[in-house]
Amino acid sequence: MPVILTLLAALISTGACAYHRSSLRTWAIATMLATLIVGLLAHAPWTTVILLIIEAAIAVPLLLVDFRRRQISAPLLKLFAKVTPKLSETEQTALEAGTVGFEGQLFSGKPDWHELLRQPKPELSVEEQAFLDGPTEELCAMIDDWQITHELADLPPDVWAFVKKHKFFGMIIPKQYGGLQFSALAHSAVLQKLSTISATLSSTVAVPNSLGPAELLLHYGSDEQKNHYLPRLAVGDEIPCFALTGPTAGSDATSIPDYGIVCKQTVDGVETLGIRLTFDKRYITLAPIATVIGLAFRMYDPEHLLGEKEDLGITLALLPRSTPGLQIGRRHFPLNVPFQNGPIHGKDVFAPMSVLIGGPQMAGHGWRMLVEVLSVGRAISLPSNATGAMRASAAATGAYARMRKQFGLAIARFEGVEEALARIGGLTYATAALSRATAAAVDRGEKPAVTSAIAKYHATEWARRIASDTMDVHGGKAVQLGPKNYAGRGWASVPIAITVEGANIMTRSLMIFGQGAIRCHPYVLKEMQSLSITDRGEQLKTFDRLLFSHLGFGISNAVRSFAMGLTGARIGETAGDAYTRRYYRKLDRYSATLALCADVFMGVLGGKLKFKEKLSARLGDVLSYLYIASSMLKRYEDTGRPDADRPLLAWGFHECMWLTQNALDGAIRNFPVRPVAWLLRILVFPLGRREVPPSDRLGRRVAALLTAPNEARSRLTEWVYLTPNANNTVGRMNALLPDVIAAEPVERKFQKAQKAGQFKAHDVADQYIEALQGGVINQAEFDLLKRVREGVAEFIAVDDFEPDELRSFTSRAEERKAAASQ
């Protein structure tokens, strides 16, 4: 027993120092003192002496810095240089582009929650709110999505004119160039509202404000280019598009075969230095109507007209539509969602050097330009459109499930529907928080390379899940297309968002953890960068400091992961109030676990991890769910910790923790080095997998929030276009919902009399009259029942057509024109 007590004292002291991340010197002193005191009190002198010798043998060489560098760090530096995979120029550019925000804290194993909570609450300015309540609301009221999708296959001319007049294409352009200069939050809010009424409209507005000429010009354009193009882009005199994707280069944008050869050509009698371009692009949004085309190509200078380098690399240019040889105007038809999208071609198209964005000095810098700008645009456009669609689904499906009855009950009462409603509510809450967090990061001046990938992937994936649940709850109502169907086009358009701006499969398996593990980790990127230090002494000094900091970091995360796993993350100082503190503790636990697994996976597999995409994807999922859960907690704090939102927060948080656990379990279960996997499982899940998905009871509470007016539902459906008008069925449903609920006790009273056989009529409308005449209901109740019955009948109705009506509007117009000419 004395021996065991002495050993325990040494282990507990070591664990406590590792848990709290004490310095090496503090560990040595604390552990040796604990061993000495407990050993003497327990009367175990020999054990004490042996342990002290072992502790000294470990501590002394490590504390003698010069000795440690020569005998330990120097050989390890040589080994590290040998095994570290050489980054390609493309990978190096991607890693150096962008910034690291709070996601870096999640990789630390010990997040500083005060850093998150100190961030200012994202809020719209008075001007931005006025734009949302004014022009954006007016634009939504102009939209007839059936006309857009079925008859015109385009936005109507008056909508195009309104969008241009009110500078919807100029939200990111500064006021000095005639733009609106909105915050990223306002940009997101506008897109969310537009996406609730028309996917075609929101996509059209998103592109000029995302990856495109305006964003590139703002960051890299010459003053002459800015002054010429930005005022015209702001008011829609120029319509931009950006051509990157081609038949053989999609997600692998660095492999584009499109090229430009530097040459001289006589133009209008003057010898002009320029580029002869050959390109084949597709899937280019706004291309059919674009007047200025951003083009990515690889630039070559075989005659060395610009310098000694022949392959200059990826370069970006702006071509006017009038450029001779440019083939443009034909359209793709993306899943019957007719936003303008089409191919662009050109062979031996000559353009002067002035078309290069930023001028000739920016030749070859195109990949860096794209990566830096894409991280900002991707953080806003697709997450915002997905979030708006999900919010609209929450409003529509909640109201419909309360109105639609089967077997005499509102379908919201059926547990299968309730389960779908809970998913819609919980995932919408989580995605809204995620979208808000990434927009706020952009407004703080960040270029969120990692979190923009998280937002794009998870917002669009969860939008796909919500679209499926929406279709399931609506049933045949959502299947039959027509003016009355507000869900079908959303369901059809989901794969578009999944595919564009980085296909989701590639985003998940390559980008999130691939960039996050190196960019967000506190030491890995710095260790890799230390290899490029030319001064050998300084290199060894830097590597030594990083190496032993990294080793201490790893040991600390192992101890923290194990300790918090044993306690179920129920102890420890953290942020939050009495309700949310348990959530922050869970995030503390899984942050340590993520950091531990990332270190082990990278340390054991090295460069091979890059090719273990399924392992990388699972660890990327862990980072994603931690970031999303953090975003939900920040949203909850920013909104004043409302009690009404707790079911939504709880559902979203428990779902994230359940998915986090499953991702970790999958990563460990499939780790190829089995002894390491066994050890990891002990450290990560010492008591087994204890997380559970949201309970049925919690789901019932979330579903109840969606099916009745309340403050939580109002916050959840913020920025949804709910103004009731002829072309906004969801708005009219939402307006009728209070009456539907008020009518429920009256309906029960009516049904009781009906079952008692008090009515002779068979038609329900006639039975209402009998009920009024017989005193079963009063006049106000009669009016309420009649109003609700008529409204509900309208909302559950579907469209039918004459066969001729289903042919396209254009086809019928052409036939009428041909008949008239005869």
Pairing relationship of beta strands 341-352 and 327-328 according to DSSP bridges: antiparallel
DSSP string across 751-819 = HHHHHTT----SSHHHHHHHHHHTTSS-HHHHHHHHHHHHHHHHHH------GGGGS-HHHHHHHHHHH
- Reported as a single tens digit per residue, the pLDDT across 725-765 is 999 999 999 999 999 999 999 999 998 988 888 888 889 88
- For the ranges 360-374, 395-409, 761-775, the maximum mean pLDDT occurs at 395-409
**Mean predicted confidence (pLDDT) in 5-24:** 80
Query: Is a pLDDT exceeding 80 seen at residue 317?
Result: yes
DSSP string across 136-168 = IHHHHHT--HHIIIIIISS--HHHHHHHHHTTG
Quote the CA–CA distance of 574 and 588 in Å, as a whole number.
8
| CA angle centred on 451, ends 450 and 454, rounded to 5° | 95
The residue assigned the tokens 């015209």 is 232
Pairing relationship of beta strands 341-352 and 405-406 according to DSSP bridges: unpaired
- Give residue 406's region: left, alpha or beta (phi > 0; psi -120 to 50): beta
* Burial class (CB within 10 angstroms; exposed 0-12, middle 13-18, buried 19+) of 736: buried
Q: What is the 3-state secondary structure (H, E, C) of 409-475?
A: EEHHHCHHHHHHHHHHHHHHHHHHHHHHHHHHHHHCCCCEHHHHHHHHHHHHHHHHHHHHHHHHHHC
**Mean predicted confidence (pLDDT) in 587-598:** 95
Residue count of the chain, please give it: 822
Q: State residue 346's pLDDT score.
A: 96
Cβ pair 451, 512 in contact under 8 A: no
The Cβ of residue 644 has, within 10 Å, a number of other Cβ atoms equal to 14
Helix (H) / strand (E) containing 112: none
Q: What are phi and psi of 255, to 5 degrees?
A: -95, 20
Q: State residue 428's pLDDT score.
A: 98
* 501 is annotated as an active-site residue: yes
For 316, the 3-state DSSP assignment is strand
Q: State residue 437's pLDDT score.
A: 96
- Active-site entry in 55, 501, 655, 747: 501
Q: Collect all residues with Cβ–Cβ distance below 8 Å to 587 and sequence separation of at least 6.
A: 106, 111, 626, 629, 630, 633
- Reported as a single tens digit per residue, the pLDDT across 779-809 is 999 999 999 999 999 999 999 998 888 876 5
Q: Collect all residues with Cβ–Cβ distance below 8 Å to 608 and sequence separation of at least 6.
A: none
- Between 383 and 523, where is the model more confident? 383
What confidence category does residue 817 fall into, taking pLDDT thresholds of 50, 70 and 90? low
What confidence category does residue 697 fall into, taking pLDDT thresholds of 50, 70 and 90? very high
* Cα–Cα distance list, 464 to 103, 393, 460, 468, 497 (Å): 25, 11, 6, 6, 9
Q: Which of 759, 778, 781 is nearest to 770 (CA)?
A: 759
Query: Within its chain, how far is the Cα of 288 from the centroid?
Result: 28
- Reported as a single tens digit per residue, the pLDDT across 548-591 is 889 899 999 999 999 999 998 888 788 899 999 999 999 999 99
Q: State residue 63's pLDDT score.
A: 81
Q: What is the pTM of this model?
A: 0.93
Q: Which of 377, 667, 625 is nearest to 512 (CA)?
A: 625
Q: Which of 680, 700, 377 is nearest to 554 (CA)?
A: 680
- Reported as a single tens digit per residue, the pLDDT across 42-76 is 777 777 778 788 878 888 888 888 888 888 888 98
Cβ pair 168, 131 in contact under 8 A: no
Q: State residue 390's pLDDT score.
A: 97
Q: State residue 198's pLDDT score.
A: 96
* Cα–Cα distance list, 308 to 181, 302, 389 (Å): 41, 9, 52
The amino acid occupying position 293 is I
**Mean predicted confidence (pLDDT) in 677-702:** 96
Q: What are phi and psi of 504, to 5 degrees?
A: -60, -35
Q: State residue 36's pLDDT score.
A: 74
Which residues make beta-bridge pairs with 298? Answer: 259, 314
